[in-house]
Structure 1
Amino acid sequence: MKILVVGAGAIGGYYGARLIQAGADVTFLVRPKRAELLAKQGLRLESSLGDFNAPVNAVTRESLRSDYDLILLSCKTYDLQAAIEDITPAVGPSTAILPFLNGLSVYDELDARFGRDRVLGGAAYIATTLNANGEIKQMGAADQIVVGARSPATLDVAKAVYALLASSAGARALSDNIMQALWNKWVMLASGALMNCLMRGTVGDIMATRDGEALMKQAISESLSVAAAEGYALPQTEITSIEKRLLDPQSAWAASMRRDIASNAPRLEGDAIVGDMITRATRHGLNVPLYRAAYCHLQVYAHQHTPGAAAQQPFK
């Protein structure tokens, strides 16, 4: 299978390496500086599930010519529109697209541009970082992927992608209801992320406070209400799993968006992870006050990191 991985960062680089180890023909679409670094030192991955340190194929947007069987998207949600423009020359008559992005709005955008019959569903549960030397490091040993077809047209390619990934280390699953799997992840991620960001701490930090458990339960409840209204009520087994993860007083987990705030990142995925959940709640007339408080917090952060924001006139 000929695969184009968009980016060779924390997620794209990690799973691109795993696909190479599985025997796939992988090329990374990267920016010129990243291409120079990869040419000089190869792709480097440090993981308890197995390291990777080898030369890789890389192209820049300007040199992208041929089409691919599969395009793996792993960019931040705020870079999706730019990524769509970048990959368009690589989309051939039978190319499928697999996004490992947060939230559900990305599927609306990809479907609108390429058609639902081209876009697979994918969810990755993993924590990775890219250090200043361009090396990828996995944090912890968790590596879970769920992939699946969102239409009959992509069932065969979904099975082929799963077969490749299943030969690499980590937990792999081929879902026959990938939209439900995507909602399961979004409920967990959004509930945890809004609390991590609003409270500026890990799950354990939040659980150590007087009202942390009650507020986390409220966040989960608001998320579950939106999922149910959208037609994807979570099964009790998933709810129990989410509660176990997000109500653990010993947990050091925090969403990547919380880490982005801690590092003073210029942009966040607040719109896709938190804001879009509010949009859907509003569509169904649901009250989600904790979501609104968290999103306001994220918007303030975004405003503070917008060039020239300090010179803007306040609201009257």
Structure 2
Amino acid sequence: MRILVLGAGAIGGYYGLHLAEAGAELGFLVRERRAAQLRQDGLVVASRGEERRRSVPTLLAGGIDRPFDLILLTCKAYDLDAAIEAVAPAVGPETAVLPLLNGIAHLDRLDARFGADRVLGGAAYIATTLGADGIVRHASPGDLMLFGRRDGEAPWQVEALAGLFARTPVTARASGTILQDMWEKWCMLAAGAALTCLLRGTVGEIMATEAGRSIAEAMIAECRAIAAAHGHAPRPEAAAQAQRMLTDPASRWAASMARDLEAGAPRLESEAILGDLIRRGAAAGIAAPLLAAAHSQLQVHGARPAAA
């Protein structure tokens, strides 16, 4: 199977390297600076105490001359429009597009451009970063990826991708309920991002405060209520996992958006993760005042001249 990976960054680099090792025919669509880095050093992933290095083929914008079987889309939500234009030449009549973006707003935009029948759903539970040295570092204990067609069918690309991942150490599997999976991840991530961005701390630090647990539980409840109003209430296992993760007094976890906020990053995914969820809640008559407070804080950050 021929797979085009958009970028060779934290997510695309991690999963792309493992797919290449499994025998997939890959191309990495990257900018010139990253292409030069990959030509010199190869694609390097540090994970679970070991470093994997592999020479990989790269493509630059305008260099795609034929369709791919699958496109792995791993950009940030705010870069989606540019990503769509970049990968469009690789989309043929039989191409499937697998986005690993947060939230679900990207589905409408991809459907409008490429057609809903070829846009898969995907969710990745993983913490990775791309260092200035070009190394992708895997920081979380897990690397779960779920993917599938939203109508529950299993096109050949989904089966082939599952087969490739089965030959790797990655925990990845096809799902017949991918939209539900995506909502469950969204609920967990939105509550966690709202909590750690608004209160500017890790989960453990927040749990040590007088009202930390009650605030976390209220944010989780707001997310669940919105999901339920749209027919996607988190299933018991997912709800329990989110509760444990976001109320663990020993946890050093903070959402990547909170880390970006602390670092003064000029752009954040607040609209895709919080703004869209809040608006969907409002449309269903569900108020989410704590999520709205966190979102407003992030809007203030984004409006400051230094963040422009």
TM-score relative to the length of structure 1? 0.94
CA distances 1:256-284 after superposition (whole Å, capped 9, x unpaired): 11111122111000000000001101110
CA distances 1:27-82 after superposition (whole Å, capped 9, x unpaired): 10001111111111111111117532121100111212221000000010000000
Query: In terms of mean alpha carbon deviation, does 157-166 or 78-87 score higher?
Result: 157-166
Aligned residue number for residue 313 of structure 1: none
Aligned residue number for residue 234 of structure 2: 234
1:118 and 1:154 in contact (8 A); partners too: no
Aligned residue number for residue 55 of structure 1: 55
Overall identity of the aligned pairs, in %: 47
CA distance in 2, matches of 1:50, 1:106: 34
Name the amino acid aligned to 1:81. D
CA distance in 2, matches of 1:271, 1:306: 19
Q: Does 1:134 align with 2:134?
A: yes
* Cα root mean square deviation, aligned: 1.4
Unpaired runs of at least 5, structure 2: none
Aligned residue number for residue 64 of structure 2: 64
Report runs of 4+ in structure 1 exceeding 4 Å deviation.
none
Residue aligned with 1:84, SS: helix
Query: In terms of mean alpha carbon deviation, does 238-247 or 49-58 score higher?
Result: 49-58
CA distance in 2, matches of 1:46, 1:200: 28
Q: 1:231 to 1:305 in 2, by over 3 A?
A: farther
Residue aligned with 1:237, SS: helix
CA distance in 1, matches of 2:183, 2:152: 20
Aligned residue number for residue 222 of structure 1: 222
CA distance in 1, matches of 2:128, 2:305: 24
Shift of 1:306: 6.2
Shift of 1:152: 6.1
CA distance in 2, matches of 1:151, 1:286: 27
Q: 1:305 to 1:134 in 2, by over 3 A?
A: farther
Aligned residue number for residue 203 of structure 2: 203
Aligned residues: 308
Name the amino acid aligned to 2:193. A
Aligned residue number for residue 115 of structure 2: 115
Shift of 1:154: 5.3
2:152 and 2:175 in contact (8 A); partners too: no
1:266 and 1:305 in contact (8 A); partners too: no
CA distance in 1, matches of 2:305, 2:26: 36
CA distance in 2, matches of 1:68, 1:291: 40
CA distance in 2, matches of 1:248, 1:305: 36
Unpaired runs of at least 5, structure 1: 310-316
Name the amino acid aligned to 1:151. D
CA distance in 2, matches of 1:183, 1:190: 10
CA distance in 2, matches of 1:88, 1:280: 29
2:152 and 2:176 in contact (8 A); partners too: no
